[in-house]
Amino acid sequence: MNQDHHRRLGSDIGLSCLMKTFHYPRTNRMSIALATVWSFADREDGAFAHQLLDDARRLLASDLPGPELSVLWRAGTFGDFDLEACGIEGRQWLTWIEEIAEYRITWNVGNAPDPVDPPPARGLGEAVLGEIAMVAQALEPATAGHAYAAVPGVVPALRRVTAEVDPDLGFRLLLRVLKAYFVVIDPERVEAYRELAELLGLEKEVVEDGDFNVRRD
């Protein structure tokens, strides 16, 4: 199965998809969290492990500090698995995700997966940054000011992932956070997300999973 096939699985992919699997009831038990990662990496005979490994490796290779990675995780999961409550930070958690995904891949191929390639030079970083800017005024208070799942600093963290790590991952994380916090967006934004997803080589299900809170005038 080639790398493109690992991105076309009829759903979201990678870290953003893993975040969606953490949902109510909330848990602060590490054993449950790790079992969730194992189950996710095993989906489709290990196909889901490939993009998960790429996402984790790219973030770990970046300069984003542990607390900023924790911000992204907490926002993407709506706080349904709280790293801080378990006494760990973002880099440690991503390291465990990386190890699980890599180990699952070796079951199929018999040896360690190849090192992750640099993100393709798609020239779409500015487009993703533009989409972040379009919703920043709504997204920042929705995340930082939430009554029981408050996470400050989400928008700057998304910008850093997009500009410094991978626009593809930045885009998927943006959509995940918008959906997790049920931020109201205009229909025009959904159409823009469809177009951008196609340019990034993502399937329509990354956008069209029914979780957006679209303004109905």
Residues 15/73, Cβ–Cβ less than 8 Å: no
CA angle 146, 71, 167 (to 5 degrees): 110
Q: What proportion of the chain, given as a percentage, has pLDDT over 90?
A: 70
Instruction: Tally the C-alpha atoms within 13 A of residue 1's C-alpha that lie toward its C-beta.
Output: 17
Residue found under tokens 């993009």: 51
pTM for the full model? 0.92
Q: What proportion of the chain, given as a percentage, has pLDDT over 70?
A: 87
Q: What is the tens place of the pLDDT at every residue in 51-106?
A: 999 999 999 999 999 999 999 999 999 988 888 888 899 999 999 999 999 999 98
Cα 206 from Cα 44, distance rounded (Å):
17
How sure is the predictor about 1, in pLDDT bands with cuts at 50, 70 and 90?
very low
Cα 69 from Cα 21, distance rounded (Å):
18
Backbone angles phi, psi at 212, to 5 degrees: -70, 150
Q: If you average pLDDT over every residue of the chain, what do you get? A: 89
